[in-house]
Chains A and B, each alone.
Chain A
Amino acid sequence: METLLEVHDLVKVFRGTRAVDGVSFAIPKGRIVGLLGPNGAGKTTTIHMLLGLITPTSGRITYFGREFSRHRRECLQRINFASSFNTLQGRISVRENLLVFAHLYGIRRPRARIDRLASYFGVGRLLDARYWDLSAGERTRVNLIKALLNDPQLILMDEPTAALDPDIADRTLALIEEIRRTAGVSILYTSHDMHEVTRICDDVIFLDRGRIFAHDTPLGLTKRIRTATLTLTFDGDRGAVERTLRGRVERFRFVQPFAVMIDTSEQAIPRLIFEVGEAGVWITGIDVKKPTLEDVFLSIARGGGRVE
């Protein structure tokens, strides 16, 4: 598979602090890669180095097989950027803003391109409105239009749905999924929202204190947390349940007189249910909480980068 972006041993030191510490990864064509991590993990610094806004201390960035530091313009011509932290000029209209960027990217017949994208994103009626008069959701869509103006092969997105309400965030994600499906564009996506990442990312890179602690698919990452939580509600002898569980599982507790919460591996769940049933109680309810990407994130954030 063709690799669009290759990052090798990227390091950024700010006044003796290694904000990014030997980060290496690649983004193949057509993939959405999530860059996750707690605040201060180095996500935004990494994105800024990938865009040339920050000069790395060391390391190599290659787009489309070409060294970014030597072929800056050529690389930037084929990528784009969208962030909720960067907006367009507020005083001028959406169309004027987009025309400026169309010229910067050397787009042929810019007005037609802008009209087509605006219609696709449902903001055609807003083209003559001033950018600062738009709602947060409308701005996000206009930012995405800007990011698609040059028909990029790779888009770097820095928390594009931050500050959006859940409904608009959901619609924005749907648009991003559609962009990937129809334009085949690759995306490097940073977010704090684990549900978003689970929904749209093919691969996830977990950064903590500037280092990559995990790089896997969302499913692969959640499987690294072996403990699921099984809650059984039952009718019958509580002592029998306690005796059955003791020695078989690492941890359990009764959350109600006739409800027990058990931390166990996913694979052991069917056997446990069977054994508790065999203990002579009537199981009236079963609830299984599988580990999510959020659990992985919390495990990294709270556990110094360790995943169980």
Chain B
Amino acid sequence: MWSERIKGVLLQEAYITRRSLEVIVDLFYTSLVTVVVFGFVSRFLMGVTNVHTGSYLILGLLLWEIIRVNQYSLSVGSLWNIWSHNLSNMFVAPLSVTEYVVAHMLSALLKTLVTFCGICAIAAWWFHFNVLQMGLVNLALFFANLTMFAWSVGLVLLGVIFQIGTRIQALAWGMIFLFQPLTAAFFPLSALPPAIRAVAYTLPPTFVFEAARRALQVPGTNWAYLGIAAAENVAYFALATAAFAWMLARSRLSGRLARAEG
């Protein structure tokens, strides 16, 4: 039965994605255009500076999209139901919140995989940048870690939307960019000032991006960095789940969940 309910939410996600130009633009089109722009910039940089500078940029972009698309899909997926005044209908069906969230995570994962494969193919074909040069194990570990971090952020934002309502909906697609400089997505960690670097160490993607940049130069897996990233991710995910559960309970107590649809 639980699989039927999850399938129901996934079906809804598939129907909405197919019919919504916004989703197609926000996910696939934005990723496509960004990778093309970053590809040209990195090609230019490879010609005028250290060859790695350009590679770091396009690598950072490809990996960053894993975070962006995952988080966007998880948070905005529920906003479609709120905008349509359909959230109550979903929550008065025998669908548990866990099933609802898991379904949205799976949907986010699927969209991310499709987008990531697409932009990696463009990067390889057009800009001769092959992510597989880091190794399949590395790539899988990077993907898993970045996905988990994105889900943590997405869960918290979902909780905030349930708790506060659509007033803060812009955070659903905007807030994640705060982590772009903080996690040193496009440049080595050493480029950050010490104070910000201290913050960067508390964020799992920082270690993933560092490990990825190193993997471009030295074959092998940086288990130390990926271990730290995984440990931090587990902590973040546990905290995000607890925060989401708390905010959902609060919104049910205050009546905001029922009023979220306006």
Binding site for B on A (CB under 8 A): 12, 14, 45, 48, 51-55, 72-74, 76-77, 80-81, 83, 85-93, 96, 99-106, 130, 146
Contact = CB atoms under 8 A, between A and B. Distances in A.
B48 interface: no
Contacts of A80: 92
Interface stretch (B36-44, B79-87, B106-114, B213-221): B79-87
A55 B248 CA distance: 11
10 contacts: A51-B91, A53-B258, A54-B253, A55-B252, A72-B94, A76-B93, A89-B81, A92-B15, A96-B12, A105-B94
B90 interface: yes
Contact of A106 (B4, B255, B258): B4
Contact of A76 (B9, B11, B94, B252): B94
A146 to B, nearest CB: 7
A52 B93 contact: no
Contact of B89 (A81, A96, A99): A81
Contact of A52 (B11, B80, B85, B91): B91
A53 B90 CA distance: 11
Contacts of A54: 252-253, 255, 257-258
Given A87-B84, A91-B19, A96-B15, A104 B90 contact: yes
* Range, interface on chain B: 20 to 34
Nearest to A95: B15
Interface in B226-262: 249, 252-255, 257-258, 261
A86 B88 contact: yes
A146 B257 contact: no
A88 B86 contact: yes
B198 interface: no
B7 interface: yes
Interface residues of B, dominant DSSP: helix
Given A14-B254, A52-B252, A89-B86, 18 more contacts: A51-B91, A52-B91, A53-B91, A53-B92, A54-B258, A86-B261, A89-B12, A92-B12, A92-B15, A99-B11, A100-B11, A100-B15, A103-B5, A103-B8, A104-B90, A104-B94, A106-B4, A146-B89
Contacts of B252: 52-55
A295 to B, nearest CB: 32
Contact of A91 (B9, B16, B89, B257): B16
In this complex, which of A51, A103, A130 has the most chain B Cβ atoms within 10 angstroms of its Cβ? A103
A52 B248 CA distance: 12
A100 B84 contact: no
Contacts of A130: 19
4 closest Cβ contacts across the A-B interface?
Answer: A103-B8, A104-B93, A53-B258, A92-B15
Interface in B123-178: none
Nearest to B260: A53
Contact of A53 (B5, B12, B20, B88): B88
B86 A96 contact: no
B20 A91 contact: yes
A106 B85 contact: no
Interface in B6-24: 7-9, 11-12, 15-16, 19-20
Given A77-B94, A81-B92, A92-B15, A103 B4 contact: yes
A46 to B, nearest CB: 12
Nearest to A146: B89
